[in-house]
Structure 1
Amino acid sequence: MKERIIQKGSDLFQVKGFTQTSIQDIVETLGVTKGTFYYYFTSKEELLMEINLRYINDVLEKQVAIMGNHETDARTKIKEVMTMLIKNIDKQGANAKIFFRELNNLNEKHLKIMIGKRKEFYLNLQTIVENGIASGELRPDLRPDIVTFGILGVCNWSYHWFDPQGELTDVQVAHIFADMILNGLEVKNAELMLEE
């Protein structure tokens, strides 16, 4: 039942938004009582936190696995992280939208936890960028923190427009983004990439 509540809450939060969804809406669609809801969650906000935690913990776990692969270089790791983020937006559409849209509806305690986890993800990615600069794979004249913000901005905002049923797959979109970030838009870079 807990999983059903989480799934239904996620569906409704995605469609109606957190503030416009009531506990009554959730229990009515499940055909249960409010008592059933309160057996598993003390509040609607706690349900929101559970959805957010599942999303961020999943992407953090995948990111750490990518970082732990010592056989791949920094460029490959950046591409893999970007692909993972776009794929997650595709596979976890509702949870991804809620994660990015509803942060301001968490209470102070939960918000602090979530900001900490988001910062952890950001710093992990920045470490990959810094390692790439140190190894000579990436340009040393760009600030790693700004590059990291750029990568996350490109990937995370796609939740707003990416259509999994559209012309391009999640992987194709991620690879276009990665190519754009890693090789730029200049023709000479594209030509060099074709030679590789």
Structure 2
Amino acid sequence: MRKIAPDERQMMRKTYVKKLIHVIRTHGFLSLTIQEMARTMNLSRASLYNYFSSKEDIIMELTNLCIDYINEAGQTIFNEELSYSLRLQKVFEQAVLSAVYASDIYVQDLRKSCPHLYEKKMQAKKEQLSIIYTFYENGMKAGFFNELNISILILQDETVIEKLVNTSFLMEEEMSLKQALSDYYAAKKIQILKHEYVQNTENENINEMVDCILKKLTAV
């Protein structure tokens, strides 16, 4: 087999671990064997070891992928040169992708089996929540957002979006994920933005924004 260049190997590591996200977010990873992981990644067990040294190495790559996204999104949310409307969309996108990348069962498995990665993930989440909290706080001080309990806003997103990305819930309610996310964001805007700013964003294409999020999810 040809020698794999370091940059190509790293890119392929990210590509392969993304294939595991759905099964890990719904079932965790403690019970998964290397053989099952290889099958989900469409690799032979021998080929898997061209990219990963162990099961923990796979979980480390997945955790780093999640943290990298959190950091990238945080930079956008923290960028005061961007409008509050645009950054509110990024807060929403981050909440959706975080629900997919880091479900409760995945985080609990991480805590049990990889405490060092769990601590790294929790530190990233702490920084993520701090950035979001400051964003809402500044938006309220600037008169752009309604005066609301920020901790409850954050909890609301975590709770509702975790439910919305659940396939069983969508089937029960006969909703597509696109409809669920679009309707939730439309309600979120009315809740958070002051009336005059809601009117100013009436022509905002929520469907286009949600399509962009769904496109990122299809890459997962």
TM-score, normalising length from structure 1?
0.68
**Residue aligned with 1:40, SS:** coil
**Residue aligned with 1:104, SS:** helix
Q: 1:3 to 1:134 in 2, by over 3 A?
A: closer
Q: What are structure 1's unaligned runs of at least 5 residues?
A: 90-95, 184-188
- Could you say which residue in structure 1 is the equivalent of 2:204? none
Q: 1:27 to 1:161 in 2, by over 3 A?
A: same
Q: Amino acid of the residue matched to residue 126 of structure 2?
A: K
- Could you say which residue in structure 2 is the equivalent of 1:93? none
Residue 99 of structure 1 and its aligned partner are, at CA, apart by 0.8
Q: 1:160 to 1:50 in 2, by over 3 A?
A: farther
What is the distance in 2 between the residues matched to 1:168 and 1:104?
Answer: 30
Two-structure CA RMSD over aligned residues (Å):
3.4
**Residue aligned with 1:19, SS:** coil
Q: How many pairs were matched up? A: 176
Residue 182 of structure 1 and its aligned partner are, at CA, apart by 4.2
- Could you say which residue in structure 1 is the equivalent of 2:79? 68
Please tell me whether the aligned partners of residues 70 and 94 of structure 2 are also in contact (alpha carbons under 8 angstroms).
yes
Tell me which of 23, 29, 37 is aligned to 1:26: 37
Tell me which of 156, 168, 189 is aligned to 1:154: 156
Moved more, 111-120 or 48-57: 48-57
Q: Amino acid of the residue matched to residue 139 of structure 2?
A: G
Tell me which of 13, 17, 24 is aligned to 1:13: 24
**Residue aligned with 2:103, SS:** helix
- Could you say which residue in structure 1 is the equivalent of 2:107? 103
Q: Amino acid of the residue matched to residue 116 of structure 1?
A: Q
What is the distance in 2 between the residues matched to 1:2 and 1:39?
Answer: 10
Residue 100 of structure 1 and its aligned partner are, at CA, apart by 2.3
Q: What are structure 2's unaligned runs of at least 5 residues?
A: 1-11, 202-220
What is the distance in 1 between the residues matched to 2:44 and 2:200?
Answer: 61
What is the distance in 2 between the residues matched to 1:25 and 1:173?
Answer: 36
Counting aligned pairs with the same residue, the percent is 18
Please tell me whether the aligned partners of residues 83 and 175 of structure 1 are also in contact (alpha carbons under 8 angstroms).
no
Residue 71 of structure 1 and its aligned partner are, at CA, apart by 4.9
What is the distance in 2 between the residues matched to 1:15 and 1:103?
Answer: 11
What is the distance in 2 between the residues matched to 1:61 and 1:28?
Answer: 30
**Residue aligned with 1:41, SS:** coil
Q: Deviations over 1:79-122 (max 9, x none)?
A: 32333235536xxxxxx435122112221211111111111111
What is the distance in 2 between the residues matched to 1:71 and 1:27?
Answer: 42
- Could you say which residue in structure 1 is the equivalent of 2:135? 128
TM-score, normalising length from structure 2?
0.62
**Residue aligned with 1:21, SS:** coil
